[in-house]
């Protein structure tokens, strides 16, 4: 399986869940985005590290980093290695005394550590094909391009063009609350298309 390098490109509050946030990961050498819903605590942990803020006492992820450093464990990379029932799975790939270790992790915790260690974040093609959102490139047509799986899912899910804009907004909140990111991407594409048309 081909690994795809990602970087954190945005973080915003979740539309449907007031205590959750969406971390948007973007392909380093591509136009796809991978939105990952995380909790408030993990969002704060990521934001603190990105902004290089220093707390008076170490946060949990800072403590983990301190433990890794004390025992000379190097975090080589973070890999978002699976997606099942709308839940992302991740691994911490660590190096210690000439041996490689893969440690299972929640994706949100893995991202909080990746920011602290300044290590690369990867995923696999099948994860991006399933949950990635294709963004338009400069010079593309206004509507975001869709991957073939998403186009098929849209055909099966009914014509969104028949929904009023207000109903689409409500539907988007509903599918995000059930973590159906594939359907949410379709609805967002339709909302964006209408907004661009004016």
pLDDT tens digits for range 18-48: 678 889 999 998 999 999 989 888 888 898 8
- pLDDT confidence tier of residue 196, bands split at 50, 70 and 90: confident
Q: Which domain holds residue 77?
A: 3-131
Q: Could you give the CA distance from residue 123 to residue 131 in angstroms, rounded to a whole number? A: 11
**In terms of domains, do 172 and 86 share one?**
no
**In terms of domains, do 109 and 165 share one?**
no
Q: Please, are residues 127 and 83 in contact by the beta-carbon 8 Å criterion?
A: yes
The number of angstroms, rounded, from the C-alpha of 89 to the middle of its chain's C-alpha atoms is 11
CATH number at residue 72: 3.10.690.10
pLDDT at 88: 96
**DSSP helix/strand/coil, 9:** strand
**In terms of domains, do 11 and 80 share one?**
yes
Final residue before a domain boundary, out of 131, 165, 180: 131
**In terms of domains, do 102 and 126 share one?**
yes
Contacts with 125 (C-beta within 8 Å, 6 or more apart), sequence order: 1, 2, 4
pLDDT at 198: 65
Instruction: Indicate the number of domains in the chain.
Output: 2
Q: Could you give the CA distance from residue 104 to residue 13 in angstroms, rounded to a whole number? A: 26
Final residue before a domain boundary, out of 131, 153, 169: 131
pLDDT digits (tens, 9 = 90+) for 43-79: 888 988 888 887 788 889 999 999 999 999 999 999 9
Which pTM was predicted?
0.67
**In terms of domains, do 121 and 140 share one?**
no
**In terms of domains, do 123 and 143 share one?**
no
Final residue before a domain boundary, out of 103, 131, 159: 131
**In terms of domains, do 80 and 64 share one?**
yes
Sheet holding 32-39, edge to edge: 99-106, 87-96, 74-84, 121-124, 3-13, 20-27, 32-39, 133-134
| Among 65, 145, 178, 69, CA closest to 113 | 65
């Amino acid at each position: 399986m081909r690994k795809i390098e990602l970087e954190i490109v945005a973080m915003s509050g979740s539309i449907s869940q007031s205590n959750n946030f969406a971390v948007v990961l973007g392909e380093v050498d591509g136009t796809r985005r991978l939105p990952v819903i995380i909790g408030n605590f993990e969002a704060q942990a990521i934001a603190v590290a990105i902004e290089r803020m220093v707390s008076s006492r170490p946060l949990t992820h800072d403590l983990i980093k301190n433990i890794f450093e004390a025992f000379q464990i190097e975090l080589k990379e973070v890999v978002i290695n699976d997606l099942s029932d709308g839940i992302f799975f991740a691994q911490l790939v660590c190096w210690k005394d000439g041996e490689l270790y893969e440690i299972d992790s929640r994706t949100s915790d893995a991202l909080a550590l990746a920011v602290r260690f300044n290590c690369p974040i990867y995923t696999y093609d099948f994860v991006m094909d399933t949950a990635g959102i294709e963004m338009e490139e400069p010079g593309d047509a206004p509507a975001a391009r869709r991957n073939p799986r998403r186009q098929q899912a849209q055909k099966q899910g009914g014509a969104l063009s028949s929904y009023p804009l207000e109903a689409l907004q409500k539907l988007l909140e509903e599918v995000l609350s059930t973590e159906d990111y594939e359907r949410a991407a379709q609805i967002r594409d339709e909302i964006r298309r209408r907004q661009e048309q004016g």
